[in-house]
Amino acid sequence: MSDFKVIEIKKSVFEDNDKEADKLRAELKADKTFLLNLMSSPGSGKTTTLLRTIEALKDDLRIGIMEADIDSDVDADTVAKTGVKAIQIHTGGMCHLDAGMTRQGIESLETADVELAILENVGNLVCPAEFDTGAVKNAMILSVPEGDDKPLKYPLMFSICDVLLINKIDVLPYFDFDIEACRERVKKLNPNIKIIPISSRTGEGIEEWADWLRAQTVEWNQ
């Protein structure tokens, strides 16, 4: 039988990325820049929620936005119209960002004058959950039309997030979505996660979300 070497690629890739992520976090801490990784499925209202967040915080914090997408500039153009610093990251077909790609984005964003940087990750609930971007906190958006069973289907995503925004609560009467059942499923996976119901369309819940993000940013940047 021939001798050959077996390389565990997945393990090696994750270990290298985790080291890079820890290094980036340490640099962000030294630079007093709080980085939030925002994740969700396509169509969850991520960009609209981001616009509401900017509106709520732009007078208190210097904000920079990194929009990640496979091949589109639509979101970055929308965000730039708010007046905050924004860049677009094209992933070249990749369905997520890792720490190295996030570092490139941070360097391009030039965060010396940025207190709060938000990465709007590529829209899906699988790949982004597997890669540490170097963010200080992870947030995800689950919209009502997606269903309250998503935590059962994508447990890793709900397990690694610090805060869950349940969006589009204004359409709850029209969908079979049980918020309490969803909350229970999420808490079983992640007892410490903060859950905030919001409507990015009406603005309901945005103040609570903005207060949480402001407090986290101020604490990190001390």
Query: Measured between alpha carbons, how far is 99 from 211 in angstroms, rounded to an integer?
Result: 27
Task: Tokens for 184, please give them.
Answer: 């229970």
Assess contact for 166 and 198: CB atoms under 8 A.
Answer: yes
Say if domain 12-144+205-220 classifies as CATH 3.40.50.300: yes
Cα 201 from Cα 208, distance rounded (Å):
15
Domain segments of the chain: what residues?
Answer: 12-144+205-220
- Here the tokens at position 202 are 């009406």
Question: How far is it, in rounded angstroms, from Cα 26 to Cα 35?
Answer: 11
Helix (H) or strand (E) holding 211: helix 206-220
The sign of the CA dihedral 57, 208, 48, 132 is: positive
Q: What is the pTM of this model?
A: 0.92
Residue with tokens 């709080």: 34
Query: What pLDDT tens digit does each residue of the chain (222 aa) get?
Result: 456 665 555 566 788 999 999 999 999 999 999 999 999 999 999 999 999 999 999 999 999 999 988 666 777 888 999 999 999 998 877 788 999 999 999 999 999 999 999 999 998 999 999 999 999 999 999 999 999 999 999 999 999 999 999 999 999 999 999 999 999 999 999 999 999 999 999 999 999 999 999 999 999 999
The partner residues of 195 in beta bridges, in order of sequence, read: 164
For 193, the token pair is 């996660």
